[in-house]
Chain A
Amino acid sequence: MSIDKDKIKHISKLARISIDSKKSDSLAKDLTSIFKFIEQLNELNTDKVEPLSSILNTPLRAREDKINDGKIREKILENSPKKNEEFFVVPKVIE
């Protein structure tokens, strides 16, 4: 799989990372060689293999749907780059 500048544009849009066109050239080159490396996996026939999504033998624990903390609004807002008293502030989204 060769990765060109158009593909970089498409993925970077999905990933919400702006990439300038100079960077996009070197990224296309790097990603092409990385995908060539990754595609070694195609040598293997895996038709009858079950995918492994977790190495734990037990299913994930679920907890009771009960509130166990709260009243931490100030702590949550503490590291926000922009806030007013009770809210995160973002650029205007509705005209």
Chain B
Amino acid sequence: MSEIIKKNLSEIIDLIKKKEIKSEELANLYIDKVNKSKKLNSYITTCFEHTIQKSKEFDKKPNFNSLLPGVPLAVKDLFCTSGFKTTAGSKMLENFIPQYESTVTENLWKEGAILLGKLNCDEYAMGSSNETSYFGNVINPIAKDTVPGGSSGGSASALAADLTPATIGTDTGGSIRQPASFTGTIGLKPTYGLCSRWGIVAFASSLDQAGPMTKSVKDCSIMLEAMAGFDNKDSTSIEKKKENYSKNLKTDIKGLKIGIPKEYRVENMPKEIDELWNKGKSILKDLGADIIDISLPHTKYALPTYYIVAPAEASSNLARYDGVKYGYRSSKGNDLIEMYENTRSEAFGDEVKRRILIGTYVLSSGYYDAYYLKAQKVRQLIKKDFDENFSKVDAILTPSTPSSAFKIGEKTNDPISMYLNDIFTVPVNLAGLPAISVPAGLDKKGYPLGLQLIGKTLDEQNILNVAYAFEKNCNFKNEIKNWWL
């Protein structure tokens, strides 16, 4: 029976539809393994009573026509879930119980999914290793001393360890794709505006996007189909018809033009990553794609741009945490201002403080033009690089990360070396494009590495198709040994 939870989401959906397993039985299988997997620390909150109750309701009156019929799902703890704690990995929101539901999670429940719990993440999604979470480090199931990546580290860890059949994360600079790469799973950041941001704890509003994290490309297309869609409550939501990504999935990529940007071959990149990138190229070539060398000349300026834009927006978004309306309040301070200062000092972690201070500084009087305006101009150049190349190619292939999963504590003392993790993922957020990370192989330590496919605006179907064809021909197998049980 426990073999079932190792299966892909699409296989599990088939079993439910064929009535070979009931929703309640399935829920119990996951609950059992979650209970035995506390060492990974991938869950912050569980809500098993709710899960069982909802799965019983489903079994009594099943609707097999929905996309996720009776499927239990855990989600990143950045999505507001009505009546269930939503912490954003912060002491500030340790006891925050949203009174409303995020649009994206609401879309999942409408398609038949059932909440299993809330997954650990870096505090306010600021981090690349899940080590900034107030609720502690998350362990990567591939090896006990390694990080799962971040910020959606709990999501990636829970997915790889079979503690949820699929999940969702958010990606501001790589927070879905980097942890997917570190855990041998699939992660997609959609076009900015495809999935509603309403009800997601805000980090950097011009970059934040929710997206699926799954064990197969087909699963990814099902999840994206379920979560995406226009939402009046998000002013940046794109008005367009829903697409049937899973139905339209195909492996025929003959004649597609795949760009290879030379700027992604960075100094000190492990040889194995270069080799995997070559392997990716030859797989796509064998499938009939044209491989074309391209140049994205402003790539090296993406991270410096990001570290102005993201903290600036974060400092503004996080101004709302004042100890008055919700969240933590300090008991110290003689007046209102001191109460604010102590509240924010006691409840924000070091990385969040760092970014608020950077953001406050770059937006402060006299510095706006030198930093924020400059960054917006370079952001334009980065977007232009992509625009120009997308008149020549249909998709771009790059490595997802410059290294495989690293050790816990290895990079915590050096913010820049931590930031450099996102060197290949950040440009995509700045340009608002869709991109997917697909596992491509293992390094010599046996840790997974991913390749990234970047697509044109709203061309999710195309990168899903290329990823699907790649997956079928790559024969990647994630070897997770359940050592923590």
**Interface positions of A (Cβ within 8 A of B):** 3, 7-8, 11-12, 14-19, 27, 30-31, 33-35, 37-42, 44, 46, 49-56, 60-61, 63, 72, 75-76, 78-82, 88, 90-93
Contact = CB atoms under 8 A, between A and B. Distances in A.
B349 to A, nearest CB: 12
A17 B356 contact: yes
B347 to A, nearest CB: 10
Contact of A91 (B298, B336, B360): B336
Nearest to B311: A34
A27 B354 contact: yes
Interface stretch (B9-17, B33-41, B262-270, B319-327): B319-327
B326 A79 contact: yes
Nearest to B308: A38
B305 A41 contact: yes
B358 interface: yes
B341 interface: yes
B358 A56 contact: no
Contacts of B305: 41
Contacts of A55: 192, 206, 383, 430-432
Contacts of B324: 80-82, 88, 90
Contact of A81 (B327, B334, B375, B381): B327
The contact size tier of chain B is 35 or more
Contacts of A52: 376-377, 379-380, 383
Contact of A50 (B358, B377, B419): B377
A8 B356 CA distance: 12
B301 A41 contact: yes
| B contact patch SS | helix
B238 to A, nearest CB: 7
Nearest 9 A/B pairs, CB to CB: A55-B432, A51-B376, A79-B326, A81-B329, A46-B377, A52-B380, A18-B341, A75-B99, A49-B377
A91 B323 CA distance: 11
Given A17-B345, A31-B357, A81 B336 contact: no
A51 B373 contact: yes
Contacts of A90: 324, 336, 339
Given A19-B345, A41-B305, A56-B192, A88 B325 contact: yes
B374 interface: yes
Contacts of A44: 298, 301, 378, 381
Given A11-B357, A31-B358, A54-B206, A37 B327 contact: no
12 contacts: A8-B357, A16-B337, A18-B338, A18-B341, A19-B345, A33-B415, A34-B415, A49-B378, A50-B380, A79-B326, A81-B327, A91-B339
B170 interface: no
A54 B236 contact: yes
Contacts of B341: 16-18
A33 B371 CA distance: 15
A79 B377 contact: no
B416 interface: yes
B348 interface: yes
Contacts of A49: 377-378, 380-381
Given A40-B304, A93-B335, 12 more contacts: A8-B357, A12-B357, A16-B341, A18-B344, A34-B358, A41-B375, A46-B377, A49-B381, A76-B325, A91-B333, A91-B335, A91-B339
